[in-house]
A and B are shown apart, each in its own frame.
Chain A
Amino acid sequence: MNQTNHSKRPPQLFKNLSAKIASIPMILTTMVVFVGGTTWTVVHSFTNSKLLPKLNFVGLDQYERLWSSRRWLISIENLAVFGFFSLILMMVIGFFLATLLDRKVRGENIFRTIFLYPFALSFIVTGLAWQWILNPDLGLQQVMHDLGWTSFEFNPLNSGDTVIYGLLIAAMWQGTGLIMVIMLAGLRGIDDDIWKAARVDGIGTVKTYIKIIIPMMRPVFVTALVIVASGIIKLYDLVVALTNGGPGLSSEVPAKYVINYMFRAQNLGQGFAASTMMLVTVAIILIPWAYLEFGGKDNG
Chain B
Amino acid sequence: MQKHVKALGLSMALAVPQMATSADLEVTHWWTSGGEAAAVKEFAKAFNATGNNWVDGAIAGSGGTARPIIISRILGGDPMAATQLNHGRQAEELIEAGLMTDLTELAEKEGWKDIVNPSSLLDSCTFEGRIYCVPVNIHSGQWIWLSHGAFETAGLDVPADWNEFVAAAPKLEEAGILPLAMGQQGWQQNLAFGAITIGVAGIDAWRKVSVERDASAAAGPEYKAVFEAVAAARELARESNVQDWNQATNLVITNKAGGQIMGDWAQGEFQVAGQVAGKDYTCLPGLGINEILDTGGDAFYFPVVKDEETKKAQLELASLLISPEVQVAFNLKKGSLPVRGDIDLSSANDCMQKGLKILADGNVLPSGDQNLSPDTQTQIEDLMAEFWSSTMSAADAQEAYVAIIADSE
Contact = CB atoms under 8 A, between A and B. Distances in A.
Interface in A151-174: 158, 160
A261 to B, nearest CB: 7
A122 B75 CA distance: 27
A260 B385 contact: no
A50 B389 contact: no
Contacts of A71: 382, 386
Contact of B378 (A246, A250, A264): A264
A136 interface: yes
Contact of B374 (A69, A160, A264): A264
A263 interface: yes
Contact of A249 (B373, B374, B378, B386): B386
A99 interface: no
A38 interface: no
B375 A246 contact: no
Given A249-B382, A250-B389, A270-B375, A263 B68 contact: yes
A69 B241 CA distance: 26
Contact of B185 (A70, A246, A264, A267): A246
Q: Looking at A65, A246, A270, which has the most chain B CB atoms within 10 Å of its CB?
A: A246
A246 B389 contact: yes
Contacts of A261: 375, 378
Contacts of B243: 244, 246
Contacts of B379: 265
B377 interface: yes
Nearest to A50: B375
B241 A158 contact: yes
A266 B385 contact: no
B390 interface: yes
Contacts, number: 60
A37 interface: no
A248 B374 contact: no
Given A50-B375, A136-B241, A160-B390, A264 B184 contact: no
A41 B239 CA distance: 43
Given A160-B389, A264-B64, A247 B184 contact: yes
Given A246-B389, A250-B389, A266 B373 contact: yes
B388 interface: yes
Nearest to B390: A248
Contacts of A158: 184, 241
A265 B184 contact: no
Contacts of A250: 389
Interface string B180-191: 000011100000
Contact of A260 (B185, B241, B373, B378): B378
Interface string B85-96: 000000001000
A244 B390 CA distance: 17
Contacts of B241: 136, 158
A118 interface: no
Given A136-B241, A246-B185, A265 B389 contact: no
Interface in B375-409: 375, 377-379, 382, 385-390, 400, 407
Contacts of A254: none
Interface string A54-77: 000000000001000111001000
Contacts of A136: 241
Interface in B168-207: 184-186
A183 B377 CA distance: 47
B184 A246 contact: yes
A136 B373 CA distance: 38
B409 to A, nearest CB: 9
A58 B389 CA distance: 34
A160 B241 CA distance: 12
A257 to B, nearest CB: 9
B386 A248 contact: yes
Contacts of A245: 186, 385
Nearest to A70: B386
Contacts of A69: 382
Contacts of A50: 373, 375
Which of B373, B386, B388 counts the most chain A CB atoms within 10 A? B386
Nearest to B383: A70
A270 B388 CA distance: 24
A249 B385 CA distance: 6
B389 A267 contact: no
Interface in A216-230: none
11 contacts: A70-B386, A71-B386, A136-B241, A244-B185, A245-B385, A246-B385, A248-B388, A249-B382, A249-B385, A249-B389, A266-B374
Interface of B: 64, 68, 93, 184-186, 241, 243, 373-375, 377-379, 382, 385-390, 400, 407
Shortest beta-carbon contacts, A-B, top 4: A248-B389, A265-B378, A267-B375, A247-B389
Given A158-B241, A249-B389, A261-B378, 4 more contacts: A247-B184, A249-B386, A250-B389, A265-B374
